[in-house]
Every structure is written in structure tokens, then in C-alpha cells.
Structure 1
């Protein structure tokens, strides 16, 4: 079931009505309803993988209890590593087994040994990387005694499988989401209206921006041998806006939907394409994953406490693991490596925390220096996205080679005017709203009511008229 589908348009209002009109007097019934709704939502993809989600939930729930109740450190470690090992084992089998098998076979082949590749003919369970990381963070936090183990199975299950974030994040923490699940919730009109605004903006990002950009990004990437260098650049730019509109659009819909249930999720994007260096970009892009790796990988490895060598090692580790988290393909690993290389000069010069606040915080326009810094960061990001989008390393390298020809300065063969205008308008709205949690948070609130509602209607009309065929969200594959 997709957020941008008719099925969800019927499912969500029904759950909303049951939640506030029939279960509002009982927190127990509200949480049970959310759990049933979440399991139904997930089973709409493939009901068989619901058993995997339930098993993972049971494993981490029981492990958390055993870690807390164990009288010896040996038993605590046993349950901790059992949970970690099985969770990572699931990821290894479903997501990475075929990659390792093929890579090992290729390595032996390069050494002159011919072996038959053994692969598993299995489907990747949607959202497995997200809900697995929910469970991992919970078990780690219980083991480190940052939180106490949850004793209510329904409440813990909602934390793991809460349907707005189940298949593509944000990656939540038990310290943030579980207290909200355990607390009585009353309908808040202002929170609900804000949620609807965020859903509207998320749908616009996904259906109008991302899906229209996808048509032309796919056209160029799938036929890259037939196009000039300038057209290949346009294709990479279209993908750059596709992935941002797609993923941040999903996050906006997830956060807005959750607000209608009285629950606040972690912010996942903060206008990353207005970043002045790559360090700022990664503080603003997929924030929940970046912070997860910081807390559960970078800091345990030593963080920034050691010398420069340790900082460099740890930085490369989280970027490479982040790339590998996205998928079992060398293109993702190179994408992560590129971002680590981008990050390295900032780390060596101690400038990786130069830009904490949003750009042009006290003015309407950026300075010339800020504009060029944003432009350079954007171009580096576009280049890295080529590896992310390419089918394989050969495709990525050939794509890049084809860019740097004399045709780079020719007029692009693919230049859809309506998509370019949409991107421009979209980025203008994002720029105006860049100081808020999302672009429409306060956009137009000072306008006369008729103008404000007319603007919302324009967005709705654009969604219905400019929407292409129903397309899945990119991050469902991760």
C-alpha cells in the first residue's frame, strides 16, 4: 500500500475515524488499533513477510527483557549478541547474500578459478533495513542501560511497526517514540492541521516533483549511450531532484500522518540542497540514519576523541557502511566513499562544523560566497548521485565518461520546460520556508484566508493533473 495510492486514501481516514471516535477513551485500544493497522498496512505488500516482522519484534522484545533481568554480565552479553546476530543475519541473508556470493565468485574468477555462483531466489522484504535498525537501537540502549526494557508487548510492537514510518523511516529511537506511545493522547486541532499541511507538501514533492523528474531521469539513464554530455548532466540533475522529492516527500507524509494521531516523529530532512559544504549536507539529509550511525557506530569506534587518524578512519567507516546500508551493489559503496572523500578536507581543516544554522538566516538572499558554496556542494552531490542511480559500476563510469566530451557544452536534447519550471517554483517555496521544519509550516499563514486556501487548491490540482502513473517510493528497495 503506497501513500500515493487510492488504497491508502481509503485506509487512512478509516483508521483516523476509529482512532479518535471509537478508541479515544482508551490508550490500550488506540495502541492496539495502531498495531493492527500497521500489520495490515505491511501485509499489503506480501503477507508472508509479516511473520518476519513479528519474529523480529518478539526477538528484540524478549531479548530486552532478558538483558535487563539477567543476574550476570555473561547472560546479558549472550542475549545482547543473540539479538544483534539474528537481526544482522536476516539482513545478511535477504539483502546481502547474493552480493557477497557474486563478489566472491568474481574475485576467484579474476584469480583464474572458475566457480559457479550460488544465489538465493528471494524477495527483499520491504522496510527490513528500517525496522531492523529500530530493534537494534532498542536492544543496544537497553544493554547500555540508557533505557529500561519495555514490558508491554503491544506498545513495543507499535514502536517497531508503526505504519507511517514502517517501510521507509524515519528511523526512530525508543527514547523518543516509546514515551509517546505510552502516553495518553488527545486530539489537537492545531497539530492535525499542521499535519495535513505537511502531508499536502509531501504529496506534491512525490507526485509532482519526484515522479515527473523520474520520467526524464529514467529516460536519460536507461539510454545514456544515445545522449550528449549536456543531456547526461540534465539526467543527473533530474535524478537529484527525484530522489529528494521522493524520499523527503515520503518523510513529510509520514510525519504529517503521525501528527494526525498525536505522535511526533523525528525530523528526517532539513533543506539539504541549501547546504554550503558536504558536512552540512549530511546534517540535513536522512537525518535519522546519519544520527543513528553517529550514535551506534561512530561514537563506539572512538568518535572524534582520538587523533586525526582515528577521526578519518571512523568517518570513512560510517560513510562506507551508510553506502552499503542502501543496497547490495558496489555503486552504493562508491557513493559512500565519494562522500567520505568530500568530507575529508573539512575534517582535516576542522571546518566540518562551520555551518550549523540554515543559510542566510537573517536575510532573504544568500551572499555571493554562500551562493557559490551552495552551488559547489550541489554539483558534488549531483556527481555522487550518478553512482547511486547507475545500474552498476560499469554503467556509472561510462555515464561519467560520456559527460566529459565536447558535447558537454551543447544544448541538452532532453529539456522539458514544464519540469524545469516546476523545480524552480518548488525550490523557491523551499527557500522561503527553509527556517521551518518543512516548507509549508508557516508559508502563506499571514495571507488572507482566501489566498491561502487558493494556494492549497493549486497544489491539490497540480497533484491530480501533473501526477504521472502511480510510482513506488525509491527507498522502499532499501
Structure 2
């Protein structure tokens, strides 16, 4: 069988990346004497097969999950209610935001040669919200479900599209994977202690491995290397730990500088998502070439404009709710808790109605393939 390295495409078991890293943390932590080997077969089996996180994370640590499994738990009403609230928001993100954006993103990417550059930009933006709603939505559902059983899983997303630079984006996007790479690969390689050259080398290794983690396809490799290039200025000038606080913390409106930083970071992220979503490098280059053509300055033309306008409204509401809840663990964690019960439950029912209303066109979770 002849293998073409330019069209590298290998079939892998569902969720292999997640449960492989999940299990590796246990082995490595034992080797590093962070924990003792688990002698109870049932506790260990539950650790490696805990169903909420099995196929799409968060990627748990043995040091974090095993002690909770071994600890005696009792039903906690407030924790269960909080878990249900997070499940509700996760379903909204997946069904109302991700699945609706997916219809347009899929069509635009699959027929990119037929659309103008302006429409292709819209398709890339739709995919950015699709993958965020899809992946963070699953994480919310998984974390909320685990909370019903008295288990606190690692947080996986912290409103990444409100980041002010790429370094902050990676502290907020797929947190369980980013911190896994930091603790089990970046730091063992020397971390940031060996000077600028070592930091650059280690950063490129991390993002290259991150690309491979997502799949055996060159588009993922380029996506990872792009983010490595994005983050290089902050590594070289040692500003990668600049934005550790929450944007506009304690304020409703961000200042002009913060707005520009968030827009720039979002644009860079969306550009990289094109490689992540494209079927091949050739497709990605063709897609980007069409964007940077004269057709970029033409009006967006796409069938089904009426529904698209509804989607824009849904995205606007989604962004506002996420912004209001950005200082919490998830967007509606505390939103409405001080309202009168009638208004609070009306808010929840509106979310439930929206979930059922837009639940017709089902889409598979994107990260089930990784």
C-alpha cells in the first residue's frame, strides 16, 4: 500500500485522543510520585471510564478525579441545580448556536468556489461559532452531568472569544488540553527556564503536537503552527502573561483598546479556523485566496437570507449573555439568580423553548472525531 505524505489521512478510534491523555495522566503522575497506584479495581475502572467525559473531555487528571471518586458523596441539591443550569446552557450552545451555524458553514465550505470572498468570511465566522458552541457546549453538558453525581470536573472553556491576545486565548480555550501539554510536555522540555530560544522551541513543539492531537491531517498541523507563529511575539517580548485578569472586570463596557484587542484576536483565530475546517491544504489555500480577492468587497449573497437574519439575532443574544456571565464558571451560572422567580424561570423556559424549536437539524459533535 502506497502512502502519500501530502494527503495524510488515517482513521482513528472515536475519542482516542481524550481517553489516551486521560489514562496517560494516571501513569505519569504515578511515575512522578504525585499519587499512589490505585489498588481498588472499581475506583480505577470508574476513573478511566467515567461516561460524561469519555469521548470529548474535559481531559481529567488522576490527581483531581481519583480523590473525588474515592470520597464518600451525598446528594447536594444546590450543586445539582447548578449542574442542571450548566447542562441547559450547554444544550443551548450546541443546538441553537452550533448546529444552526453548522448548516451555513458546511454549505459555504463545501461550495467555496461558488461564493464571493465576503460570503467566505461569513462562513469562517459561522464555523468559529459552530466549533465553540459545539465543543464548549459538550463540555458544559459533561461538567453539569458530573456535578449531578457530586463530581467536579476540570473547567474546559473560559469565554475564549473575549481574549485580548493569543496567549490569553489558549488559557481560555480547551483548558484541560492546554494545561495537560503545559504540565506533561512543556515543563519537562524545560519550560521557560532555558532562555528565549528554548521557549520558542518548546512552544513550537507544543503547537505541533496539538495539531497532531487533533488528527493525522496536514490542515491540523498548519493550524497548530499558525497559532505558534501568532504567539511568538508575546514569547519573544515576554508579554504572554500580560492579560491574566478577566477583560473589563467589574465593568459592563470594555474600553477602546480592549475592543480592538478582542477583535484582532478573534480575526486571527477565525483565519486559523479555516485550515482546521478545510478538507485539505489545497482547499484552505483556495478558500483564503478567494477571500483576499476583489470579491471581498462585494455584498454577501446566500440563499435563505431570512433564516440567516434570525441566526444573526441568536448570535447577538448569545454573545451578550456570554459577556454578562464572563466572570462566572459558565454564562448563566448566576444570571437571573437575583431576579424574581417568575422572571428567572421565564428566562429558563425561553432557553428550553429555543432548544426544542431549533432541534430539527442534528449535527454530530465535532470533537467526537478526535
* Pairwise same-fold verdict (TM > 0.5): yes
Q: How far apart, CA to CA, are the structure 2 residues paired with 1:468 and 1:277?
A: 37
| Map of 2:259 onto structure 1 | 371
1:368-407 paired onto structure 2 within 5 Å? 368-407=256-295
Q: 2:350 aligns with which of 436, 458, 475?
A: 458
Q: Distance in 1 between matches of 2:311 and 2:78?
A: 34
| CA shift for structure 1 position 128 | 1.2
Name the residue aligned to 1:422. Answer: 314
1:394 Cα offset (Å):
0.2
The counterpart of 1:329, out of the listed 217, 224, 228, is 217
Say yes or no: does 1:468 pair with 2:360. yes
Match of 1:59 in 2: none
Q: Hey, what's the Cα distance between the residues in 2 that align with 1:310 and 1:124?
A: 32
Q: What is the alpha-carbon root mean square deviation over aligned residues?
A: 1.5
Question: Do the aligned partners of 1:134 and 1:173 also contact (CA within 8 Å) in 2?
Answer: yes
| Counterpart mapping for 1:41-120 below 5 A | 101-103=3-5
Q: What does 1:271-420 correspond to in 2, within 5 Å?
A: 271-414=159-302, 416-420=308-312
Q: Distance in 2 between matches of 1:469 and 1:271?
A: 26
- The residue aligned with 1:247 is 135
Q: Distance in 1 between matches of 2:288 and 2:230?
A: 18
Distance, in Å, in 1 between the alignment partners of 2:60 and 2:319 is: 28
Q: Which blocks of at least 5 consecutive residues in structure 1 are unaligned? A: 1-97, 108-116
Q: CA separation in 1, counterparts of 2:359 and 2:26?
A: 39
Residue 22 of structure 2 is matched in structure 1 by 134
* Residue 230 (1) aligns with residue 118 (2): yes
User: In 2, distance between residues paired with 1:403 and 1:420?
Assistant: 21
Residues paired across the two proteins, number: 366
Secondary structure of the equivalent of 1:164?
helix
**Aligned residue in 2 for 1:80:** none
Which has the larger Rg? 1
Q: Does residue 146 in structure 1 map to residue 34 in structure 2?
A: yes
**Does the CA-based 8 Å contact 1:212-1:467 persist in structure 2?**
no
Residue 305 of structure 1 deviates from its aligned partner by: 0.4
Quick check: 1:247–1:475 contact (8 Å CA) kept in 2? yes
Write the deviation string for residues 269-291 of structure 1: whole angstroms up to 9, x where unpaired: 00000000000000000000000
Unaligned runs of 5+ in 2: none
Q: For 2:67, which of 179, 186, 196 is the aligned residue?
A: 179
- SS of 1:264's equivalent in the other structure is coil
TM-score by length of 1: 0.75
Runs of at least 4 residues of structure 1 off by over 6 A?
A: none
Residue 192 (structure 1) shift: 0.3
Cα shift at 1:405: 1.1
